[in-house]
Structure 1
């Protein structure tokens, strides 16, 4: 057993100190090793130390347009709202003034189509022409183009008291202008359309058809045209409604191939139909 060291002279160390073991030296940790509590994070003035900074909001991308559809222009939307406001105001005015604004804006017309103001017939060959005001009662035959193909032919002279329907156009009562021609006179005297220039607007013309129906026309006008200046579109090309054209010669006699200088044309419109 080792001997306790002999105390040196001088003040004697207390026994409690002598009984303690010498302090042990622990090797230092490798560099970079954390051996104690984490230091507190540096404080930012006005912000909690553990609150994360607010991220900046990302700009929103505009919505992608749907394929095949285009966004409505703002101007059109504003214009539609303005018209809507004007319509609402107008309805208020109508209620206050007893004005039937739906009729004014064509509301009833939008609900149902207006009745047609004239009849329309199926094709049927004309057989007889009656004009009571000038005492015409004549059978109708068919005519085509003249031999040179430049004009409508007329009934042969031996049948000068008959009218000729141009078979290249509509039958009387169909849409478009039906053309009936006739002689004014011959060397032997007046023919079927001698009194045609005396017709007046509003007088009636009747055409008996093969289907046993009667097409009733009303005279619109009676006009004279130089044979070289006949308004072809107006006479032959108006297909806005069923109509009738009666045509004969008139004006000054110039002889030769021309004969009379003018054409007399009666313009009439279909106004009624009935059974024969």
Structure 2
């Protein structure tokens, strides 16, 4: 709102940016390990055809080739030598890994960061560069928001992962107050492929790419989708939007930004 004239009572009562919906019990529980493998059929398994296929005639048997005894002996010699070398490496602590670099983690399709508290959130496209404070759950069980005197700061839900860990790190912010626009006023303008950066206490900056920006009726927030995806490191930005309903109801919608971690760098 641009001034105090005609402001609904709910705004005067400092309740303009209520974010409804909270993580279901046991879903968001702080720093989390890597997710367990999902059950079900492997996506790479090719099902057998149902119809009966013609059975090909067997090819005529070929005479077995005899392997030279000398070649077999040489192969066994080198195999034994390799085994002895590996045993010496284990007993002496010397690294004889011939198939991978020393101390290199297994390759991932995406980065994963160690836990570290977020300190600052930057969205270049929206010209947002805001400090981050911790928020928890409000008395009614919904995710709390920063106090109105800090309406230009972003709240990180400290009951969930830190940005860069497996799972959705949740950030909330006000859209506006009785004095004017707030930190997430233009959040709905974000587009897929745009970036969000989070500076962390360990000196790294986690870089996320926007996947989608969605609007939900507050009574129909898809809780499991917002809070329950631990398949990779991700980000959720939430604020209020949609139609002003007035009274104690505030805004009709929640604006939710979905983003995934794509890289990190030293700040």
State the TM bucket, normalised to the shorter chain: 0.5 to 0.7
Q: Does 1:134 align with 2:156?
A: no
Q: Does 1:266 align with 2:265?
A: no
Structure 1: gaps of 5 or more residues = 1-81, 87-110
Match of residue 187 from structure 1? 178
- For 2:165 and 2:243, locate their aligned partners in 1 and report how far apart those are by CA, in whole Å: 34
Q: What TM-score do you get using the length of structure 1 for normalisation?
A: 0.59
- For 1:275 and 1:179, locate their aligned partners in 2 and report how far apart those are by CA, in whole Å: 22
CA-atom RMSD in angstroms? 2.2
Among 184, 209, 216, the alignment partner of 1:225 is 216
Matches within 5 A, 1:89-100: none
Aligned-partner SS, 1:270: strand
- For 1:255 and 1:144, locate their aligned partners in 2 and report how far apart those are by CA, in whole Å: 26
Deviation, structure 1 residue 266: 0.1
Deviation, structure 1 residue 148: 1.8
Structure 2: gaps of 5 or more residues = 1-54, 60-98
Matches within 5 A, 1:70-81: none
Deviation, structure 1 residue 258: 2.1
- For 1:177 and 1:246, locate their aligned partners in 2 and report how far apart those are by CA, in whole Å: 10
Match of residue 94 from structure 1? none
CA offset digits 1:28-57 (Å, max 9, x no partner): xxxxxxxxxxxxxxxxxxxxxxxxxxxxxx
Match of residue 5 from structure 1? none
Higher relative contact order, structure no. (Cα contacts within 8 Å, ≥ 6 residues apart):
2
Deviation, structure 1 residue 114: 8.3
Among 176, 188, 205, the alignment partner of 1:214 is 205
Aligned-partner SS, 2:192: coil
Q: Does 1:200 align with 2:177?
A: no
- For 1:256 and 1:168, locate their aligned partners in 2 and report how far apart those are by CA, in whole Å: 30
Among 205, 225, 236, the alignment partner of 2:227 is 236
Match of residue 125 from structure 1? 117
Matches within 5 A, 1:130-169: 130-149=122-141, 151-169=142-160
- For 1:174 and 1:124, locate their aligned partners in 2 and report how far apart those are by CA, in whole Å: 9
Aligned-partner SS, 2:156: strand
- For 2:186 and 2:106, locate their aligned partners in 1 and report how far apart those are by CA, in whole Å: 39
- For 1:144 and 1:114, locate their aligned partners in 2 and report how far apart those are by CA, in whole Å: 35
- For 1:168 and 1:256, locate their aligned partners in 2 and report how far apart those are by CA, in whole Å: 30
- For 2:222 and 2:180, locate their aligned partners in 1 and report how far apart those are by CA, in whole Å: 29
Q: What TM-score do you get using the length of structure 2 for normalisation?
A: 0.61
CA offset digits 1:75-123 (Å, max 9, x no partner): xxxxxxx9xx89xxxxxxxxxxxxxxxxxxxxxxxx9998312100011
Aligned length: 169
